[in-house]
Amino acid sequence: MAKKQLEKTNQKKHNKGFNKLALIIMFIIILIIIIKIGENVKISKYPDIQIIIDNNNITKELNNAVLLKDDKIYMSFDDIKKVLDETIYQEENTNLIITSSDLKVATLSFDNQETITINGSIQESKNPVINENEKIYINISDLESVYNYKLNYIDTTNIVTIDNLNTKCVKANVKKNVKVKQENKIFSKKIEKILKDEEVIYIDEEKGMAKIRTKNGNIGYINKKILNNITTEREDFDNKTTTINEEPLEYDITKKDITSFKKREEVINLILQEAIKNDKMYIKIKYDGENNFYFDRFKIESTSILKECGITIDI
């Protein structure tokens, strides 16, 4: 009798211990799920408008909100410098903003809110530069030709996509309806449902999963096996410097005034005229002055403007 009582007591202790262990395991599982869900909820400082540049969501890198005004997208001067154009420059005494790319130089003015100038050519642009909360904001919707990108605002998701037209682009279609995962993880939440035959941008493959961008601008993951018609729409542009097989035309700018954009532009135009006059596509710039900020600006601006004209400079 005592033996049976002892066995019964031990069984109760065993069951109690088992139940306690089961509760601990269940608590750990729930905690893991909560952590995973927390990881999948991406909290942005400025959740209203997201910015996707070349299939990378850079919203969290921005220091200021992105603005939508009159169907135009505005980014702060500081954020443009950070993620789009590290050479952008404000010339305070002339109220000019000078921004540049490989082939273009654009000037935007606080004083002229109707146009922008790109490589000397005037183009229409409504409110290219504005002040908002004591910060300079620039209308990036009208700078597509400067940076050679395609900008698209998707109002349904409040996402702005910016695609560099010099970089590779691969597209595909989905074979069936599928839900897109936010991350390549088991517990990742679903962010969008895409329908059969819908076109997506194929970014990369990660462990059998395709990283894609949907037409709504969302970046996520689906099984690569359900993709077909994977087609390269655009290859990377080869921007290597071409070897010039001719003697350069020398041009000395040592005594030229290059202390403002307008003055530098005048000098660049003189160089262009000399190149045309002498039928030269290769110019060697001579400069014996001080290596200062203005000379650095001259190098940036002259290289871009003259390169678009097919002229290579050595400076």
**Would residue 258 be called left, alpha or beta, if left means φ above 0 and alpha means ψ between -120 and 50 degrees?**
alpha
Rounded Cα–Cα distance for residues 72 and 133 (Å): 18
One domain for residues 68 and 135: yes
Quote the pLDDT of residue 208: 86
- In a domain, residue 242? The reply is no
- In a domain, residue 180? The reply is yes
Does residue 44 or residue 160 have the better pLDDT?
160
Please name the residue that has the structure tokens 């729409």.
233
* Residue 211 C-alpha from the chain's centroid: 17
- In a domain, residue 217? The reply is yes
Quote the pLDDT of residue 46: 39
- In a domain, residue 214? The reply is yes
Which domain-ending residue is among 208, 234, 260?
A: 234
**Helix locations, the chain, DSSP H:** 2-40, 77-83, 144-147, 261-277, 293-308
Q: Of 96-110, 229-243, 261-275, which range is least confident?
A: 229-243
One domain for residues 74 and 144: yes
Quote the pLDDT of residue 40: 42
> Residue 62 pLDDT more than 80?
yes
Rounded Cα–Cα distance for residues 201 and 248 (Å): 44
pLDDT, one tens digit per residue, over 137-187 is 999 999 999 999 999 999 999 999 999 999 999 999 999 999 999 999 888
One domain for residues 189 and 225: yes
One domain for residues 54 and 143: yes
Identity at 303, one-letter amino acid code:
T
Quote the pLDDT of residue 155: 93
One domain for residues 97 and 179: no
Host domain of residue 260:
249-314
Quote the pLDDT of residue 16: 55
One domain for residues 91 and 141: yes
Q: What value does the mean pLDDT of the chain take?
A: 88
In the chain, % of residues over pLDDT 70: 84
> Residue 36 pLDDT more than 60?
no
- For residue 32, name the pLDDT band (cuts at 50, 70, 90): low
> Residue 307 pLDDT more than 90?
yes
One domain for residues 228 and 195: yes
> Residue 41 pLDDT more than 50?
no
Task: Quote the number of domains for the chain.
Answer: 4
Rounded Cα–Cα distance for residues 134 and 93 (Å): 18
Nearest Cα neighbor of 74 from 161, 157, 141 is 141
Quote the pLDDT of residue 44: 36
- In a domain, residue 158? The reply is no
Number of neighbouring beta carbons within 10 Å of residue 308: 15
Which domain-ending residue is among 181, 209, 234?
A: 234
Quote the pLDDT of residue 42: 38
Identity at 315, one-letter amino acid code:
I
Are 120 and 134 spatial neighbours (Cβ–Cβ below 8 Å)? no
> Residue 23 pLDDT more than 70?
no
> Residue 305 pLDDT more than 50?
yes
Token output for 216: 């709504």
Identity at 167, one-letter amino acid code:
T
- In a domain, residue 112? The reply is yes
One domain for residues 221 and 301: no
Quote the pLDDT of residue 280: 93
Quote the pLDDT of residue 237: 81
Nearest Cα neighbor of 129 from 181, 184, 83, 67 is 67
- For residue 43, name the pLDDT band (cuts at 50, 70, 90): very low
One domain for residues 141 and 174: no
User: How large is the average pLDDT for residues 249-264?
Assistant: 96
pLDDT, one tens digit per residue, over 78-91 is 999 999 999 999 99
Which domain-ending residue is among 42, 59, 79?
A: 42
Number of neighbouring beta carbons within 10 Å of residue 148: 17
One domain for residues 134 and 117: yes
Q: What is the DSSP letter of 95?
A: T
One domain for residues 139 and 224: no
User: How large is the average pLDDT for residues 45-57?
Assistant: 83
Could you tell me the pTM of the whole model?
A: 0.80
Are 268 and 301 spatial neighbours (Cβ–Cβ below 8 Å)? yes
Residues 6 or more apart in contact with residue 224 via CB below 8 angstroms: 205, 208, 209, 210
Q: What is the CATH number of the domain that holds 54?
A: 3.30.457.10
Q: What is the CATH number of the domain that holds 221?
A: 2.30.30.40
- In a domain, residue 136? The reply is yes
One domain for residues 179 and 124: no
- In a domain, residue 74? The reply is yes
Quote the pLDDT of residue 48: 83
